[in-house]
Amino acid sequence: MTRKALPVAVAALLIGLVACTPGRAPTPPNETSTPGPAGDALIAATKIKHIVVVMQENRSFDSYFGTYPGADGLPMSGGVPSVCVPAPTSGCQRPYHDTADVNGGGPHGQTNATADVDGGKMDGFITQAEKAAKGCADPNNPACANGGAQADVMGYHDGGDIPNYWAYAHNFVLQDHMFEPNASWSLPEHLFEVSEWSAHCTTHDPASCVNALQSPGSPPDFGKNKTGTTPIYAWTDLTYLLHRAGVSWGYYVVAGTEPDCRDDEAIDCAPVKQNAKTPGIWNPLPYFDTVQSDGQLGNIQSVQNFYNSAADGSLPAVSWIAPSGDVSEHPPGKVSAGQAYVTSLVNAVMSGPDWDSTAILIGWDDWGGFYDHMVPPTVDVNGYGLRVPGLVISPYAKAGYIDHQVLSFDAYDKLIEDLFLHGERLDPAADGRPDPRPDVRENASALGNLLSDFDFTQSPLRQLILPEHPTTTLH
């Protein structure tokens, strides 16, 4: 298998970061992935006892890893980006290195996803961003952009800007064909994350739920919901299967504010407070009938409990972690603040007794309007959406491996089901709780298998404790 060395400057930076962990040398990334899973789910289940899903916000793959060696990144010719995306006010614009710590991005709803992809041309990003910027007063509104008149959706970061993320890719697994499961924005994605569906229900009967890619049931005062009534999520979510099987889980929320306006078409809005006791677009589980009827509301808790559990070796089998606006990387949140927060989570697991049996899955919920050159696969009426970064960190992760499989966050649920539920699926025909979802997402023929990212025969990789605030080229 061929390997490609990192550029000297980036390699030196990563080696400096890795040097804080004695006895571990960096491994060059692989250019190609090997087919097939590294081991079946029965072997994996003896090694991996904890899965931690860290979900960040609003970055495309090309905007973070477009120049990562060996990855399917930005098209280049002679080291210069070879694509030029139409810009209504300036002809066209090529991708460029952007060292700004605060980015703007672009609108990222269902219509914007369709326009950005433009039938496979992948050329709508600047047009959408410039249209969104006109008369848009609130940078947190997903129908807007935080770039003002100067759209920055063609900007990308590199290893000097986000050295910890590149170090994780360099030493563990980078997924370069990870797509958001739905071609839309944050609320539908977070519903897919925990339930494989985004729907609108009129009653507490699952049969009343209908597919809703852009506008599922909304929290009070959110979007068109001005009645103050809470939404009904009557369909089946993954916690229902976990609870029935006696599998522990936790959903951890960072206190602060939500980054998105609750009305994705609003011009402006006040910050929306968020904590473990406030259901919202990043904390949808409290609205699920199954969570309420199973008495599992207490599993939705402060992120401080995650740090405590990591320290004392009491992590549940499945952890989901939702950020606050400040550390989410959702514009206008700082890139550096998000990287520091994610590093603190990873360091907490690596420093605790559960590291030897944990897999950390890091994703970004949608593309945030930022450019990506890859056409998303179509698996059903809901997606996939645009490509986003994906990382896998574990003692059993293949070191320096680039996974080229087609993936979405559905693969997270599939891995959880394979390891902890003997392969049971959120299947209305078999899970004992029928709902009218259009398909069983985990069984999509295009979806890869995360087991391919692990090697359970290797000597377990050691901890890679990184500084939460590394030196970067961001400003």
Q: Is the pLDDT of residue 189 over 70?
A: yes
368: left (phi over 0), alpha (psi -120 to 50) or beta: left
Query: Residue 299 in 3-state DSSP?
Result: helix
Poorest-pLDDT segment among 20-34, 141-155, 346-360: 20-34
Q: Tell me the per-residue pLDDT of 382-430, one tens digit each, with 9 for 90 and over.
A: 999 999 999 999 999 999 999 999 999 999 999 999 999 999 999 999 9
Both tokens of 36, joined, read 């097939």
Distances (CA, A) of 262 to 104, 138, 265, 268, 425: 19, 12, 9, 10, 31
Residue appearing with tokens 């992760």: 397
Q: What is the chain's mean pLDDT, rounded?
A: 87
Higher pLDDT, 3 or 425: 425
pTM of the model: 0.90
Which residue is it, tokens 């809703």?
212
Q: Which of 276, 287, 64 is nearest to 176 (CA)?
A: 64
Report which of 419, 387, 416 is spatially closest to residue 404, judged by C-alpha positions.
387
CATH topology of domain 8-65+159-453: Alkaline Phosphatase, subunit A (3.40.720)
Average pLDDT over residues 66-72: 98
Of residues 138 and 283, which shows the higher confidence score?
283
Domains in the chain: boundaries:
8-65+159-453, 76-156
Per-residue pLDDT of 212-262, as tens digits, reads 999 998 777 555 555 678 999 999 999 999 999 999 999 999 987 654 443
Residues 77-87 have pLDDT tens digits of 999 999 999 99
Cα separation, 112 vs 59, whole angstroms? 15
Mean pLDDT over 159-170 rounds to: 98
Q: Which of 475, 185, 192 is nearest to 330 (CA)?
A: 185
Task: Encode pLDDT of 44-61 as tens digits.
Answer: 999 999 999 999 999 999
Please tell me the predicted confidence (pLDDT) of residue 131.
84
Q: Which one has a higher pLDDT value, 379 or 31? A: 379
What is the structure's pLDDT at 27? 42
Percent of the chain with pLDDT over 90: 75
Residue 5 has phi, psi (to 5 degrees) of -75, 150
* Beta bridge mates, 387: 179
